[in-house]
Structure 1
Amino acid sequence: MAKITYIEHDGTKHEVDVANGLTVMEGARDNDIPGIEADCGGACACSTCHVYVAEEWVGKLPAKEAMEEDMLDFAFEPDPNRSRLTCQLQVTDALDGLVVQMPEKQI
């Protein structure tokens, strides 16, 4: 289980426990966190679960695979270092304390 903080674009924070084995996207969906639409349901076929990872977490996450990189090209204002698709981040104990911020909108 990991405690993950989701920050809406307006600064509203949601700190929730997410079970290991789920994705960060599923944690948002299951806890009704606004700002992550997840239109493709986690298939890495859109960019509607795009977030900006807190700077201190960038180097702690697994590297982006090619498909995620491709989908981030369609995201709203992607950041080359901090942007991630939450459907590609599987929750483990190592993600305890992760902080992600939603963009102004999802495309």
Structure 2
Amino acid sequence: MTFIEHDGTRHKVEIEADKSLMQHAADNMVPGIDADCGGECACGTCHVIVDEAWYAKTGKINSSEQQMLEMTPEGAPTSRLACQIEITDALDGLVVRLPEFQM
């Protein structure tokens, strides 16, 4: 999968099933994913903007995630919290962009 920083810097990461997108970013030291709450969907600091082609494959947004995303100043129609996206083989090739700032 590929994380693209706000400045265009790309970070390619090999997927591992049964880990969240946030865990992949943290394990690979991808800058721009703060993950202050450790993946509890309580802070919004792992905000990503999913490439449109992949958005439907990332699963449904629950009410807690939606509330966090509503507070994100750089929200987009395909915004998600990386802690809420569980990686499966179906997401091999996933592309996400990182906002300039996290909450």
What TM-score, normalized by structure 1, do the two folds share? 0.93
Q: After superposition, where does 1:1-107 map in structure 2 within 5 Å?
A: 4-79=1-76, 81-107=77-103
The C-alpha deviation readout for 1:33-65, integer Å capped at 9, x for no partner, is 000000000000011000100011122221101
Conserved 8 A contact 1:76-1:103: no
1: CA distance between counterparts of 2:57 and 2:32?
23
Conserved 8 A contact 2:15-2:92: no
- Corresponding residue pairs, total: 103
The C-alpha deviation readout for 1:9-53, integer Å capped at 9, x for no partner, is 000000111311110000000000000000000000011000100
CA RMSD across the alignment? 0.8
Q: What's the offset of the Cα at 1:76?
A: 2.7
Which ranges of 4 or more aligned residues in structure 1 deviate by more than 4 Å?
Answer: none
Structure 2: gaps spanning 5 or more residues: none
1: CA distance between counterparts of 2:72 and 2:19?
22
What TM-score, normalized by structure 2, do the two folds share? 0.96
2: CA distance between counterparts of 1:35 and 1:59?
23
Conserved 8 A contact 1:25-1:86: yes
Give percent identity, aligned residues only: 51
1: CA distance between counterparts of 2:79 and 2:53?
13
